[in-house]
Structures are given as C-alpha cells and as structure tokens.
Amino acid sequence: MRAVLQRVSEASVTVEGTRIGEIGPGLLILACAMPGDDDATVARLAAKIAKLRIFEDAAGKMNLSVRDAGGSALVVSQFTLAADTSRGDRPGFSGAAAPAEAERLYLSLAEALRREDLTVATGRFGAEMKVALVNDGPVTIWLDTAA
C-alpha cells in the first residue's frame, strides 16, 4: 500500500458541492491499494502512521505522533499514487489494486486507524473529490509498504 501523509492545520473533502469529511490539525492521508495488499498490510501501515513522529513537541522538535498531538486523520483514496510514468507522456494506472479490492482496503485502512485511537474522516471511494488543505510545515511523507 502506498500513502502520502501531509501534516495539516485543517483539511476537507467535498463531493458534488457537499463537504463530506473534514478535520482540524492532523494528517491528510492519500492512500493507494496495490496488488498483493491485504489486511496485514493495512494494519502495518495504520500502526506506522499512528506512531510516526512528525508533529512538534514544546521544544519545536518533531517528536510527537498524530496520536500524541491529539490530531485527526482524513483518509482519501488516491489510485494515481500507482502511476507508471516510465513510457510516454500519459501515466498508466494498471499497477493499482482492482477497484473492489481497493475500496475494501481503503475502508479497512480508515477502520485500522480508528483502532489506533485516531479520529478519522474519509472521502468517498471512486468519487470526483475536491480536497482542500492547509499544509503545516510543510511536512509531507511518502510511505510504501513494499519498500
């Protein structure tokens, strides 16, 4: 599974003019299921995200996890993280998990983050979404469970 984490002051997702998910301080997580990902992959990724120390402590050092900082997570499905740009000018996305499995794993990631004691909002799988965020730092981290 691939994920891009953005530390945010706030973030939201809107579908067809309706805001369906929003958070204050925390993480915007763009997530992409890949072939071969399973529930164990999701659990490892959720644990890593919950423990990753990318929030500042009182001394201004990145010493706190999103959980330690009292932050939330907004999880958005992002199949384009599987883009293959090795040939031509048009990316290919055949490296992403099949849609039904990708949706299941995306929803499983949101649930796994809740089990990690995070407040979680989500986008809508397969929808055309407008994602708004205020990147804090900026801090942007790429995670790939295959690496």
- Which residues are part of the catalytic machinery? 78-80
- Give the span between the Cα atoms of 113 and 45, in whole angstroms: 9
- Give the span between the Cα atoms of 25 and 11, in whole angstroms: 8
CA atoms within a 13 Å half-sphere pointing along the CA-CB vector of 113: 29
